[in-house]
């Protein structure tokens, strides 16, 4: 059901009702939330892109109050937007289902809204409804996001060809220090790229640069040759290593995940053109060519001295993570 009475009867203030009422009416909704389902006017001549992500308290983030509910609300939507970006899709609509803990559920819900709403506004997402529930247990939030792309234009994982360069946005590693809750999904960058340049394959780095790149290469029946000294290592990876994580900053960059950066494969000439123009469009978004696509499966990393080593795809689960506001704000 859509905004069920179960919520009406058990949750003092319905999370989803508040979420919806906090956004202006949207022309895309022929029937807005509040009926049995929402009716959306899909954009003409475009495909529908669908993704869903569920976050669970204690598994995806530290139990409250160690984690800021605002950051959870933000992240629940942002991870979906990152998936849309990785398809080159324009965000359109989202629905949100929550199981709120009875204890402090109202406060947690209100604070989650504070994190989610500005992001929905920023990326012009119409919240079309959802399902509010409460239980005597931990928070679970599931967001389904819907975007659109031109027919045949969705970025897939399986289009990389030998000779392509591998381009990444941003920097990698150490997201567990807080960034994984506060990242800005690369939707605008993706839309600008897909409008101007032909991208052969794309994925977002949710589970680790090496693992996600490995997936893209495997899907494409290709491999990758990376220049180790060109991997953009995030400052957080260095801090984490200095804190005695037991890994080098480069290892963190390859294996930590939850960077939510784009990993792209494209023609070298196109990449050169893209990089030149992109810095005027997005001066604050770093772009780095980290290697090339090869016909040989697997990922090889070339060290500065010319030595090569085989890279094992690694992606670690973020079991428990610190509070977003310790590092930076989601505002």
CA 207 vs CA 129, 211, 316: distances in Å: 29, 7, 7
Among 24, 25, 151, 244, binds a copy of itself (CB under 8 A): 151
**Least CB distance from residue 251 to a copy of itself, whole Å?**
17
Pick 97 or 113: Cβ nearer a copy of itself: 97
- The 10 Å Cβ neighbour count of residue 287 is 19
Encoded tokens for 45: 């001549």
- CA 62 distance to own-chain centroid: 19
**How is 210-253 classified by DSSP, letter by letter?**
HHHHHHHHHHTT-EEEEEGGGS-B-HHHHHHHHTT-SS-HHHHH
For residue 225, count CB atoms less than 10 angstroms from its CB and return exposed for 0-12, middle for 13-18, buried for 19 or more.
Answer: middle
- For position 255 contacting a copy of itself by CB under 8 A, the verdict is no
- Nearest of 185, 159, 179 to residue 91 by alpha carbon: 185
- For position 73 contacting a copy of itself by CB under 8 A, the verdict is no
- For position 30 contacting a copy of itself by CB under 8 A, the verdict is yes
- Nearest of 131, 49, 128 to residue 91 by alpha carbon: 49
- For position 299 contacting a copy of itself by CB under 8 A, the verdict is no
- For position 142 contacting a copy of itself by CB under 8 A, the verdict is yes
Pick 39 or 303: Cβ nearer a copy of itself: 39
**Least CB distance from residue 146 to a copy of itself, whole Å?**
7
**Least CB distance from residue 112 to a copy of itself, whole Å?**
15
CA distance 218 to 158: 8
CA distance 174 to 254: 10
CA distance 330 to 115: 7
Positions 262 through 281 that interact with a copy of itself (CB under 8 A): none
- CA 109 distance to own-chain centroid: 22
Given the rule CB under 8 A, which of 90-98, 112-120, 225-233, 270-278 is the region that contacts a copy of itself? Answer: 90-98
- For position 211 contacting a copy of itself by CB under 8 A, the verdict is yes
Pick 40 or 241: Cβ nearer a copy of itself: 40
- For position 137 contacting a copy of itself by CB under 8 A, the verdict is yes
Pick 82 or 292: Cβ nearer a copy of itself: 82
Positions 113 through 132 that interact with a copy of itself (CB under 8 A): 128-131
Positions 43 through 62 that interact with a copy of itself (CB under 8 A): 47-54, 56, 58-59
Among 204, 236, 256, 259, binds a copy of itself (CB under 8 A): 204
- For position 105 contacting a copy of itself by CB under 8 A, the verdict is no
The answer to whether the CB of 127 falls within 8 A of the CB of 20 is yes
- For position 103 contacting a copy of itself by CB under 8 A, the verdict is no
- For position 1 contacting a copy of itself by CB under 8 A, the verdict is yes
**Least CB distance from residue 210 to a copy of itself, whole Å?**
11
């Amino acid at each position: 059901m859509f905004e069920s009475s179960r919520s009406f009867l058990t949750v003092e203030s319905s999370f989803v009702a508040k979420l919806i009422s906090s956004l202006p009416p949207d022309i895309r909704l022929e029937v807005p939330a509040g009926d049995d389902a929402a009716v959306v006017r899909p954009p003409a001549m475009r495909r529908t892109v669908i993704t869903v992500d569920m976050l669970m308290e204690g598994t995806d983030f530290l139990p409250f109050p160690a984690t800021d509910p605002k950051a959870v609300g933000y992240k629940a939507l942002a991870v979906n937007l990152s998936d849309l970006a990785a398809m080159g899709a324009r965000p359109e609509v989202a629905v949100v289902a929550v199981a709120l803990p009875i204890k402090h559920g109202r406060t947690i819900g209100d604070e989650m809204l504070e994190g989610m709403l500005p992001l929905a506004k920023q990326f012009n997402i119409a919240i079309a409804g959802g399902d509010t529930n409460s239980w005597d247990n931990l928070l679970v939030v599931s967001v389904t996001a819907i975007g659109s792309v031109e027919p045949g234009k969705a970025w897939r994982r399986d289009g990389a060809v030998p000779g392509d360069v591998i381009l990444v946005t941003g920097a990698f590693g150490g997201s567990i220090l807080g960034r994984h809750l506060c990242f800005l999904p690369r939707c605008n960058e993706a839309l600008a790229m897909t409008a101007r340049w032909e991208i052969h394959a794309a994925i977002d780095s949710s589970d680790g640069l090496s693992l996600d790149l490995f997936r893209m290469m495997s899907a494409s029946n290709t491999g990758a040759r990376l220049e180790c000294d060109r991997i953009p290592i995030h400052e957080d990876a260095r801090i984490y290593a200095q804190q005695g994580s037991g890994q080098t900053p480069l290892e963190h960059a390859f294996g930590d995940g939850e960077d939510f950066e784009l990993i792209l494969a494209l023609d070298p000439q196109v990449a050169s053109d893209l990089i030149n123009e992109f810095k005027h469009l997005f001066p604050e978004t770093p772009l780095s060519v980290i290697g090339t696509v090869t016909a040989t499966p697997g990922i090889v990393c070339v060290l500065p001295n010319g030595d090569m080593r085989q890279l094992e795809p690694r992606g670690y689960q973020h079991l428990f993570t610190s509070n977003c506001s310790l590092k930076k704000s989601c505002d």
